[in-house]
Amino acid sequence: MSEAPAGATAAGRAPFGERLAAATAARGPLCVGVDPHPSLLAAWGLADDADGLRRFSLTVLEAVADVAAALKPQVALYERHGSAGLAVLEELLAAARDAGMLTIADAKRGDIGSTMAAYADAWLRDGSPLAADSVTLSPYLGFESLRPALDLAAETGRGVFVLALTSNPEGASVQHVGGDASVARRIVDAAAAENRRYAGSPEGHGSVGLVVGATVGGAVDALGLDLAAMAGPILAPGLGAQGATPADLRTTFGAAYGQVLGTSSRDILTGGPTAAGVRERAERTLAELAG
């Protein structure tokens, strides 16, 4: 049996945070969302069925596999097609793995006990057909309810992105509550503690990340969130069609900007139906992020 590389997990791979940092350094801080909405399928001239879903998904992967640091399929838009849709998602995750591209399953799972353990098993276990490099999680049953996923991710060299500060108007009614000890701040602090517990590399690239909307504006400062000290990646959805610009990201995240993975979906996907069109949109977004 060959020896695992330095810094490798028990599964024999480098921790997710370390792998994401390498991908970002090589390609730039862009995550492309794969959001096969019925309207987008129609705009591409595809049927709203499993075949259309497959053609859409694999075209996006072909377009951005060597451009973006990560690919983020929106799980709900595969689930709506039932078992056939989940089979397409399994195929996409496997194809991305073969192409050497990191994946973030945008599933937003959260529960307690054996149910949370089952979610972790589905998205983070070696050998699972749905295993991605990372998965989004919802901590609103308590951060510690995510323990099965946190521990399995650490064991297998995968990562998680925990919802912390979202840009939907309703989010503030939960996430901003508590003043100096807001719900959002407690989530950020808990993620930081996890990254200290599972120090993945000498550079401190933690594998427990956060989801912070690109359009949250001054909320990061208003809530006193020390995102830089969290020492993990920040998934920032909302670039492009949702209104955020790369300049907004720099203002919103300040000292933590180097940890940000800017995420764009519709603005890039409307470049289809050709892979060349999608790639052109992705390259343009990446250039703006680097500017």
Selection from 230, 236, 228 nearest residue 265 by Cα: 236
Q: 37, 97, 108, 186: which one is catalytic?
A: 108
Would residue 72 show up in a list of annotated catalytic residues for this protein? Answer: no
Contacts of 221 (CB under 8 A, 6+ apart): 254
For residue 18, what is the DSSP state?
Answer: H
Residues in the chain: 291
The distance from CA 218 to its chain's CA centroid, rounded to whole angstroms, is 22
Could you tell me if 188 and 227 are in contact, meaning their C-beta atoms sit under 8 angstroms apart? yes
25's tokens = 């350094």
What are φ and ψ of residue 214, in 5° steps? -65, -15
Q: Please, what is the Cα angle at 123 between 117 and 127, to 5 degrees?
A: 100
Catalytic residue positions, numbered: 108
